[in-house]
A and B are shown apart, each in its own frame.
Chain A
């Protein structure tokens, strides 16, 4: 089952612009993570924010988390053509002795020259 809904489903911007993606989820979480996927291959971890954190930065990435609204956003600043990919949020929850990492619906980002 999918934990998160992301919007927009697709986003097309010009190189140099900022891209913002939003994620909403339904249950309590241990942390929330963002991943990137190129061309339907493996996912690459971008950034993790814990449930007691509100904002985190890593390079051109900024992620926010609002646990009261069960939502998160990912901002990519000064986008590049190489940022073209699908982006997924994933919620991490501890259940039954293991961690359940559940992905949102994803945002397809296209950065044009």
Chain B
């Protein structure tokens, strides 16, 4: 199984809502990532988990809250978002974090989020 599965595929939420994005992989990868991508722009790194611990936070606003319950799951909790947070949110995983043997990342298909 070489898939990273993201749910939901599409999400529309109001600025006062609380929602969560989910990501799952069963490749035994110990690094998991959240990226945000606006139209016609490259993915921007938000968070990195290595061995279930948050290792990188790219100064993301606190209305985005990541969680890694176990080595296969990654969540992104959303609260009080703004319309400018509308974007494609991508999850990825990769093996051998923190080492020179680190290889490619496998990406999910993303969740297209619209904040109204």
Q: Which of these binds chain A: B14-22, B60-68, B104-112?
A: B104-112
| Residues from 70 to 113 in A contacting B, C-beta threshold 8 Å | 88, 90, 92, 94-106
A106 to chain B: closest residue by CB = B42
B73 to nearest A CB, angstroms? 18
> Are the CB atoms of A99 and B97 closer together than 8 Å?
yes
Q: Bound complex: CA of A90 vs CA of B44, how far in Å?
A: 11
Give the contact-size bracket for chain B: 20 to 34
B81 interface hit (Cβ, 8 Å)? no
Question: Contact check: which of B41, B43, B88, B99 meets A94 at CB < 8 Å?
Answer: B99
Instruction: Give Cα A66 to B86, complex, Å.
Output: 37
B48 interfacial contact with A, CB 8 Å: yes
> Could you tell me the distance in whole angstroms from the C-beta of A68 to the nearest C-beta in chain B?
19
Partner of B33, one of A40, A101, A105: A101
Instruction: Give the residues in chain A near B94, CB-CB below 8 Å.
Output: 99, 101
Q: Shortest Cβ distance from B52 into chain A, in angstroms? A: 12
A14 to chain B, nearest CB (A): 24
Q: Does B50 contact A (CB under 8 A)?
A: yes
A18 interfacial by beta-carbon distance below 8 Å: no
- Interface residues, chain A, with chain B CB atoms under 8 Å away: 1-2, 30-31, 33, 35, 40-45, 48, 88, 90, 92, 94-106
